[in-house]
Structure 1
Amino acid sequence: MKRVVLFLNGTDVNGKVFMVTHSVEELLAAASVKFEIVAKRIFTPQGGEIEDIKLVRDDDVLYVSNGEDFILREQNKIARCSDWVTLNVGGKYFSTTRSTLINKEPMRVLEEARFYGIEGAVSILEEMAIDEEKREKGTASLTRHDVLKAIMCTPISSELRFQGVNLVGADLSRLDLRNINFKYANLHGCSLEGANLSGCCLERADLSSANLEGAHLVCVKMLCANLEAANLHSCNFEDPGGLSAIMEGVNLKGANLEGSNMAAVNLRVATLKNAILKNCDLRSACLAGADLQSCDLSGSDLHEANLRGANLKDAVFDLMLTPLHMSQTIR
């Protein structure tokens, strides 16, 4: 028993798989029902019309028309539909899923794609080959599903460690991630919107370009973490018990912290160049030696904040809630 993949004449999407019957007429009748047309002719990818069912081979890709002539499509192309990949290399078609193609020597198919100049196929196959290499080495980025599974499998009394783990681009929004060890973890571009990261160790973690809008960061340890260009709008750093969030040496260059509650936070020698700290609560915060060049602090509360030795060049202090005393800025 043989099977074929049929496409409507002139298209390479929404194909249907058919079992080869006893005659071309029976195959045309089945195609008429599936495609809701009056199928009259079947063609090979090269435009040859099939009149005898014996000429059909197993796994052939064919085109069906309702009487019109074959529509010549550009050869050597790749069409993707969901997880399916259809390759035409030198007139020979490969129709399979991405995962199946990976298991069938993607590098060999990649070489063929390059040889025949299928530029669209090259980029996709290169991506697939890289993903497979990462999976083999165990360096592939974890997903939300992986993190949830780890959380559910870990007892409350045990420490959950994601130290040095790759979580690039993962969606961890609105999750309860309290007290997890993310030291040295790669969280670049992660979505942590509304997540609870209280008590987490994010020391030297990469959170650049991450979205932490509305996140809870009470008592976090962010020593020398990288939050360049991160979105921390309306975050909460203040602990009712009086413990400070430790963010010494953190890189917040260009970050958005507007409206955040940062009372008593430790930002000693932190980099906040071009950062947005409008309308922030920075009461009793330690900003000693911090780089606040071109930082927008308009509307913020800096009552009893320590700004000794801070770089305040071009910083904006408009509409301050409390007066800024010289003793706060001079050693």
Structure 2
Amino acid sequence: MLSMTDSRKRVTVFQNGKRIGGKAISIPKKWPEFLKIISKKLNIPVSRIFNEDGGEIDEIEAIVPKEILYASCGENFIFIKDVQTGVTTIGGNTSLVNSNGTPSYYPAALPYNSPIGFTPLLNSGTNSDGCTNTSTTTTMITNINSLNNGMILNNSEWVSLNVGGRIFSTTRTTILRDKESMLAKMFSESWDSAKDINGAYLIDRSPDYFAPLLNFLRCGTITIDDGINIEGVYQEARFFNITGMVDKLASMVERKSRSDVFTRKDVISILLTSSSNSSLRCQGLNLAGVDLSKLDLRNINFKMTNFKETNLSKCNLDNALLQEADLSGADLSGASLRGTNLTGANLESCNLKGANFEDRGGQRATLENVNFKNATLEEANFSGANLRVCNFKNANLENCNFRGADLAGANLEDCNLRGANLHKANLIGVNLRGANFDIRTVSSR
């Protein structure tokens, strides 16, 4: 059971620069544990603690029970401005004055009419109870220049942002943290930013995606709430050019996309449940980067499937349906693709060295309007294949067999066609500009 003394060892902690939303927290024995508790209670990554006077505390022994503390994510202590009176205070204390009537934070040697900007108000009158009020109070004009002793923050440091209808309050220090960002340029002296009727700077962007950016500038960490699309935040960071955030978010987006990818084991499990002659429906799957080499993938519907940079070397894809599939950067070397339908597929920069599309017994491969740009097709066999309107620009077609293939309207610009066999190939409307070839036999039917 806790003693009476132990039960009183607690403090009230507010977020830096705020006097609302505070939490009463029991003082633990260890400093890291104290920071962890505050971070959880206030839902911010706390790294620094200040007392009411702005002094930084870095050990448990320095904490006084029942003390009011301010938690920071790494930024310096923020002096609080009273919203109703306009008085900037330290830890909420607004009544301290020097013997000459000036605020105690103001050097007593300076006169009232000093250009620093204090305007003392002497309230000598009657209050609501009819009693004479002889107290001396002080206030400051709206635009306060900082004091030489640095104890009062310039009110212009705080700004409001109207982002897509949601209001965000922050400091110029936070906004200017990334000097190369668009936000920093918006608040430079030369930028004339539009404001709403309340004086908040207007930014026509999504507030849901903007909030993580602002938190990153405050604390240096990326925190994205559930339900917020990481890719949306990534695009927002790119838009505002917050360089320290872009690379980290790019990695997060990549990890998320890969978490949706099937594995080789998953594909094998699917194959084991059916015969090779059955038509499996695998349309629209994400198989990017997966090693599927040497597998029997005959007769499968892979329409619009993502095979980007997938290893399909020596696979059997006979009679597979690959319409509009993305095979860019994939390895299809030595693969069998007889009778395959690749209409509209993207095979840019893929490796098809030694791939076999040969028409045998009516198994004619259909590759109409396929993108083979920059692909490696050395020694590939396209005998009898339908290659109408294909784009082979800058592809390597050395020693390819196009015997009897239909290449009508194909783009062979800047291709390497040395040793290619074009016997009885349909070359009507073919673009051969810049092609480099030593054709063995060419005839037009």
CA distance in 2, matches of 1:265, 1:128: 42
- Residues 276-311 of structure 1: per-residue CA shift (max 9 Å, x gap): 111111111111111111111110111111101111
1:313, 1:57 → 2: CA distance?
70
Structure 1 residue 114: Cα displacement: 6.5
Letter in 1 for 2:378: E
Contact 1:110 1:122 in 2 (8 A): no
* Alpha-carbon distance in structure 2 between the residues aligned to 1:217 and 1:285: 15
Output one character per residue of 1:196-241: Cα deviation in whole Å (capped at 9) or x when no partner: 1111111111111111111111111011111111111111111432
1:252 equivalent in alignment to 2:355: no
Once residues 120 and 209 of structure 1 are traced to their aligned partners in structure 2, the CA distance between those partners, rounded to angstroms, is: 30
Residue in structure 2 matched with residue 165 of structure 1 by the alignment = 285
Equivalence map 1:150-299=2 (5 Å) = 150-156=270-276, 158-299=278-419
RMSD (Å), alpha carbons: 3.4
- More relative contact order in 1 or in 2 (CA 8 Å, sep 6+)? 1
Evaluate the alpha carbon distance shift between residue 125 and residue 260 of structure 1 in structure 2; reply closer, same or farther with a 3 A threshold: closer
- Number of residue equivalences: 228
- Quick one: which of 296, 303, 310 aligns to 2:423? 303
Q: 1:226 to 1:115 in 2, by over 3 A?
A: same
Specify the alignment match of 1:117 in structure 2: 220
- Cα distance in 2 between the residues matched to 1:122 and 1:254: 30
CA shift, 1:109, in A, is 11
Q: Decide whether the 8 Å contact of 1:184 with 1:206 is kept in 2.
A: yes
Q: 1:132 to 1:211 in 2, by over 3 A?
A: closer
Residues 1:157 and 1:230: Cα distance change in structure 2 (over 3 Å):
closer
Change (3 A) 1:131 1:155: same
Answering whether residue 440 of structure 2 is matched by residue 321 of structure 1, we say yes
Q: 1:235 touches 1:260 (CA, 8 Å); kept in 2?
A: yes
Contact kept? 1:110, 1:126, Cα under 8 Å:
no
Q: Which amino acid aligns with 1:255?
A: A
Q: State the alpha-carbon separation in 1 of the partners of residues 257 and 340 from structure 2.
A: 34
In structure 2, distance between residues paired with 1:131 and 1:170: 14
Q: Distance in 2 between matches of 1:241 and 1:309?
A: 28
Task: State the distance in 2 between where 1:129 and 1:272 align.
Answer: 32
Q: Matches of 1:196 and 1:133 in 2, distance apart? A: 27
Identity of aligned residues (%): 45
Closer, same or farther in 2 for the Cα pair 1:296/1:147, shift >3 Å? same
1:311 aligns to what SS in structure 2?
coil
Mapped to 1, the partners of 2:311 and 2:409 lie a distance apart of 30
Unaligned ranges ≥5, structure 1 = 1-53, 59-74, 76-88, 91-107
* d(CA) in 1 for partners of 2:357, 2:349: 18
8 Å CA contact 1:223–1:248 kept in 2: the answer is yes
Contact 1:110-1:125 at 8 Å conserved across structures: no
Taking structure 2 as the reference length, what is the TM-score of the superposition? 0.45
Q: Distance in 1 between matches of 2:414 and 2:254?
A: 41
CA distance in 2, matches of 1:233, 1:156: 25
Deviation (angstroms), 1:186 = 1.3
Deviation track 1:10-34 (CA, whole Å, cap 9, x = no partner) reads xxxxxxxxxxxxxxxxxxxxxxxxx
C-alpha distance 176-157 of structure 1, shift in aligned 2 (>3 A): closer
Q: Match of 1:285, as an amino acid?
A: A
The 2-side partners of 1:129 and 1:292 are apart by 37
Q: Does the C-alpha gap of structure 1 residues 297 and 114 become closer, same or farther in structure 2, counting only changes over 3 Å?
A: same
Check conservation: 2:323, 2:342, Cα contact below 8 A: yes
Q: What per-residue deviation string (whole Å, max 9, x for no partner) do you get for residues 224-276 of structure 1?
A: 11111111111111143242111011111111111111111110111111111
- 1:124 deviation in Å? 5.7
Relative to 1, partners in 2 of residues 1:315 and 1:158: Cα closer, same or farther, differing over 3 Å? same
In structure 2, relative to structure 1, the CA distance for the partners of 1:290 and 1:130 (3 Å cut) is closer
Q: Is the 8 A contact 2:276 2:297 kept in 1?
A: no
Q: Which runs of 5+ in 2 are unaligned?
A: 1-28, 34-46, 48-72, 75-210, 222-242
The offset of 1:317, in angstroms, is 2.5
Counterpart Cα distance in 2 of 1:295 and 1:132: 38
Q: Structure 1 pair 302/122, CA: closer, same or farther in 2 (3 Å)?
A: closer
Aligned pairs (5 A) from 1:14-53: none
Which residue identity is paired with 2:279?
E
